[in-house]
């Protein structure tokens, strides 16, 4: 299996550069199991496809303003993109500079906070913020929202709210769980009125989610690690849903990765820690009956994940339909509702 097996042609003008005025006004491409025809709908129509007793699982991570600018002691300019928080005042980060900073070196952010370079871990640097202030407070003052590299503009004030889900609670992500961006309070209220239940996991999305696969063979790729938490309450919700005949619907690939990590022993159990789970065709899913997801980059690990779930040919055909119908792609784009290759429960 090769990464080129997951390529598709995408006109650049279909890459969404900004969100719609209304979250749930995005389009929703419904991809039923088998050869049933697609449905071209809107996200606000999602209640039509769910049943009372179904469980929607969201990722409640909160995006931090993870893009920082400053200067080295030599005066050279530095751009920092946080990968993850590793302690109260320590981070892993990508550092862009004309010359690589050395351990023990200092970086002064443009707003004045001082950072120390502790060392390297592969392509990332370990940095310490030399302040007693809480990290989130420093980042809110000094950082910018880390919009994905395919959005060809600087982050603005509107992105502080729109590149964040309405249910974001736990700070730590440097990229949004984008399927969740489509949900607003009216849609959540409509789902609740339908009898749909809500559950939450936390997976702090890292900047590695945007890094291209550098090997041609899928089997040789090593996934980046991300931190997640699947709590006991969510496990109990899933068990009750299954016992009552309901379905578990993941909102986003991050939720799938979290639930599948916590189900690796065959049953869903509480789990907090790292995951580098890599899901591609041939994988047997244990925890998810349907998936709400955005459109993903060609040859990306996330496109491989949805191909594992709904079938590679089915996904690539659906993406072709989306291109012809002028759907909007990627983080600020439209969404899909996917069912597995076999009929959903």
Q: pLDDT digits over 129-148, tens only?
A: 999 999 989 999 999 999 99
Under 8 Å between Cβ of 207 and 149: no
What angle separates helix 301-310 from helix 253-261, to the nearest 10 degrees?
Answer: 70
Q: Is the pLDDT of residue 61 over 50?
A: yes
Look at residues 266, 322, 274 and name the one whose alpha carbon lies nearest to residue 298. 322
Distance CA(53)–CA(172), nearest Å, equals 31
Query: pLDDT digit string (tens) for 192-208?
Result: 999 999 999 999 998 87
Distance CA(235)–CA(152), nearest Å, equals 40
Report the pLDDT averaged over residues 5-15: 97
User: In the structure encoding, which two tokens stand for residue 15, read together?
Assistant: 């890459």
What letter would DSSP give residue 100?
Answer: P
Distance CA(171)–CA(1), nearest Å, equals 36
Distance CA(257)–CA(10), nearest Å, equals 26
Report the pLDDT averaged over residues 33-53: 96
Q: What is the pLDDT of residue 210?
A: 80
Q: Is the pLDDT of residue 345 over 60?
A: no
Measured CA angle at 246 (ends 245, 249), to 5 deg: 150
pLDDT-above-70 percentage for the chain: 99
Distance CA(176)–CA(19), nearest Å, equals 13
Report the pLDDT averaged over residues 24-31: 98
Look at residues 47, 59, 16, 22 and name the one whose alpha carbon lies nearest to residue 165. 59
What three-state secondary structure class fits 300? coil
Distance CA(273)–CA(203), nearest Å, equals 10
Q: Is the pLDDT of residue 179 over 50?
A: yes
Q: What is the pLDDT of residue 35?
A: 85
Distance CA(200)–CA(337), nearest Å, equals 19
Q: Is the pLDDT of residue 214 over 60?
A: yes
Domains of the chain (ranges; CATH) run: 3-63+160-338 (3.40.1780.10), 67-142 (2.40.10.240)
Q: What is the pLDDT of residue 344?
A: 37
- Global confidence as pTM: 0.94
User: Can you tell me which residue has the tokens 């590299």?
Assistant: 149
């Amino acid at each position: 299996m090769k990464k080129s097996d997951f390529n598709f042609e995408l006109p650049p003008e279909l890459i969404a550069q900004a969100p719609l005025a209304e979250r749930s006004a995005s389009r929703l491409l419904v991809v039923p199991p088998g050869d049933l025809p697609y449905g071209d709908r809107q996200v606000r129509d999602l209640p039509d496809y769910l049943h009372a007793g179904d469980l929607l699982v969201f990722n409640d991570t909160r995006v931090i303003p993870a893009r920082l600018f400053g200067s080295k002691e030599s005066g050279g300019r530095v751009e920092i993109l946080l990968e993850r928080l590793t302690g109260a005042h320590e981070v892993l980060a990508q550092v862009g500079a004309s010359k690589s900073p050395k351990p023990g070196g200092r970086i002064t952010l443009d707003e004045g906070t001082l950072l120390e370079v502790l060392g390297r871990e592969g392509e990332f640097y370990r940095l310490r913020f030399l302040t007693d202030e809480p990290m989130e407070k420093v980042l809110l003052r000094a950082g910018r929202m880390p919009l994905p590299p395919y959005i060809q503009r600087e982050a603005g004030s509107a992105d502080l709210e729109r590149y964040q889900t309405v249910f974001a609670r736990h700070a730590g992500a440097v990229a949004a769980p984008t399927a969740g961006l489509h949900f607003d309070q009216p849609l959540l209220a409509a789902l609740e009125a339908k009898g749909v239940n809500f559950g939450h996991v936390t997976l702090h999305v890292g900047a590695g989610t945007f890094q291209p696969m550098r090997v041609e063979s899928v089997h040789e790729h090593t996934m980046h690690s991300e931190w997640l938490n699947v709590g006991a309450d969510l496990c109990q919700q899933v068990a009750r849903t299954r016992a009552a005949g309901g379905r578990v619907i993941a909102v986003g690939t991050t939720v799938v990765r979290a639930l599948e990590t916590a189900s690796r022993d065959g049953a869903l159990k509480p789990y907090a820690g790292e995951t580098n789970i890599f899901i591609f065709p041939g994988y047997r899913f244990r925890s998810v009956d349907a998936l709400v997801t955005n459109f993903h980059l060609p040859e990306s690990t996330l496109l491989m994940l949805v191909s594992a779930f709904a079938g590679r040919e089915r996904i690539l055909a659906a993406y072709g339909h989306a291109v012809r119908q002028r759907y909007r792609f990627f983080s600020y784009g439209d969404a899909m509702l996917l069912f597995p290759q076999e009929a959903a429960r």
